[in-house]
Amino acid sequence: MFVETEQFAKQLDEMDEKERQAAHEAVGRWFAEHAGKITHHTHLAPVHTATTVRLGSGEPVVTDGPFVEGKEVVSGFAEVEVADLDEALELVRSWPACPLVEIRPIS
């Protein structure tokens, strides 16, 4: 999962159009270079579009927005086929965008 931080989002906002386009092209190149291992990927809509459902005792509570206001937000994800965590880490080391990537196995 690709995780944006407030600092990263601020840096993107401060870029001019040419810099922002170059950043997006770098991400496109990364996906192209690793296309053989990527089985699915998507970019999520902005966090303000989220709907959160809190489950527990009683009726579920539905609220607009993310579960918590945080300084980090998952902005997208990619499913990759790799042999092991080491191979996943190798792939992530070349990620050119968000400063955080969370790796989880699919069960």
Domains of the chain, earliest start first = 2-101 (3.30.70.1060)
Q: Is the separation of the CB atoms in 40 and 79 below 8 Å?
A: yes
Percent of the chain whose predicted confidence (pLDDT) is above 70 = 95
Q: Please give the residue that has the higher pLDDT: either 31 or 74.
A: 31
- pTM, 2 dp: 0.80
Residue 61 is predicted with a pLDDT of 85
* Residue 89 pLDDT > 70: yes
